[in-house]
Structure 1
Amino acid sequence: MADRRQSLLDAALRLVDEGGLDAVTIAALTERSGMSNGSIYHHFGSRAGVFAQLYADSYGRCVAAMTPALDDRPATEAVRDLTLRYLDWVAANPSRARFLYAAPDHADPAAKQAEFAPVLTWFLDRMAAGELRAVPPWALEPVAMGPAHESVRRFLLGVFDLAAARELVADAVCAVLRP
């Protein structure tokens, strides 16, 4: 059953990649995945349910790619590594990253917060210890990771060479958080 769900999510992701969110219809999912309408509704409840699960799956994979960086090294080294891991995940998974940026309204805020909690806790602990510049939790993503997010947006539009700039972007994120 998990394979069928993943197969449908993969089909939805390919459709989004080929034609945007509007390309994902139940009819297109049925055709692309080989599943019946009933099976799609059984597993996801609706088109919105497909998007919600695809968002959760993609966001979870992204966070999982970053969290190994959060260890006991000096905080700025770990932040640099986390940023590079994020950029590398995006480069390796542009379809998922494009979906995450295109469909933020399909995120379950509570689930997203729970998924990100270990990352946030690591940052808050390092800020409290004076290892990183103290910023409010709401500012961590837009302020600290702003250089990475803007670079990723441009990369996903095809106007930015992420591989060539990854070191510079990681340095910029570190500079924002340096105490």
Structure 2
Amino acid sequence: MVKRTSYHHGALRDTLMDACLRLIDTEGIAAVSLRRVAREAGVSTGAPYHHFADRAALLAALSTQGFELLAAELTATRAAATGDPMDTLAALAAAYVRFAREHPAHFRLMFRPELSQPEKHPDTIVAADAAFALLTDAIADSVAAGLLPAAKAEILGLTWWGIGHGLASLWTDGHLEKRSAELGTTAPELVDDILRTLTDLISGPR
């Protein structure tokens, strides 16, 4: 690997984060260490310490980045939605699944328990809350339209998050593609069918 000797301050940080993501994609989170990331990035073993105090700080930064990317994806999806609020909820869940497929290394990091400690990783928690707020806002739209009961808004928000997260995990782990093939469809079509079915069960066919 070609050794890189100079970087713009921000470029080095981005390069290290990209190298870490590649390492997670190819070998898993257990393979990550600052020394190994430095080697993958082609920089000195001391270079990561200019930006990350330790391995946990690097993983937390990537988790924060993941939640920010997810929030951007959900924001764009909600802005583009033209159907009723329940259709928007289905579109948000589909966007969540799509994000996991397009950013598998981020997705594997974002919900690790050691990164969900506000006293240690406040930026990650803030980014996670901002992403989740987009879902709760969409739930509120459905409540305002009379499609969901106000008393169950918080429960339904967690339920919808669980649905999206479950489908995303099944797909990233390869289970959804296997099952969709058995059913004679594709994974994206199966996700859409599941979400349409659930929306109809929750609020009735529209």
TM-score with structure 2 length normalisation? 0.73
The amino acid across from 1:40 in the alignment is: P
By percentage of residues, which structure has more helix? 1
SS of residue in 2 equivalent to 1:170:
helix
Q: How does 1:121-132 map to 2 (within 5 A)?
A: 121-132=137-148
Displacement after TM superposition at 1:60 (Å): 1.2
Cα distance in 1, alignment partners of residues 70 and 63 from structure 2: 10
Displacement after TM superposition at 1:128 (Å): 4.3
- 2:109 is aligned to 99
Larger Rg: 2
Displacement after TM superposition at 1:123 (Å): 2.4
Q: 1:81 to 1:57 in 2, by over 3 A?
A: same
Cα distance in 1, alignment partners of residues 189 and 131 from structure 2: 30
Q: 1:175 to 1:76 in 2, by over 3 A?
A: same
Displacement after TM superposition at 1:48 (Å): 0.6
Per-residue displacement from partner, 1:105-135 (whole Å, max 9, x unpaired)?
3143233213433442342343244233443
Q: 1:146 aligns with which of 145, 148, 162?
A: 162
Q: 1:94 to 1:110 in 2, by over 3 A?
A: closer
Higher relative contact order (CA 8 A, sep 6+): 1
Per-residue displacement from partner, 1:39-81 (whole Å, max 9, x unpaired)?
3112122111100000011121122112223247420121122
Cα distance in 1, alignment partners of residues 113 and 68 from structure 2: 14
TM-score with structure 1 length normalisation? 0.82
Cα distance in 2, alignment partners of residues 118 and 147 from structure 1: 15
Q: CA RMSD in A?
A: 2.5
The amino acid across from 1:120 in the alignment is: T
CA contact (8 A) 1:58 1:100 kept: yes
SS of residue in 2 equivalent to 1:154:
helix
Cα distance in 1, alignment partners of residues 155 and 126 from structure 2: 15
| Count of residues paired in the alignment | 177
Q: 1:50 to 1:172 in 2, by over 3 A?
A: farther
After the TM superposition, which segments of 4 or more aligned residues of structure 1 sit over 4 Å from their partners? Answer: none
Q: For structure 1, which segment, 145-154 or 76-85, has the greater mean C-alpha deviation from structure 2 after superposition? A: 145-154
CA contact (8 A) 1:11 1:29 kept: yes
Q: For structure 1, which segment, 21-30 or 70-79, has the greater mean C-alpha deviation from structure 2 after superposition? A: 70-79
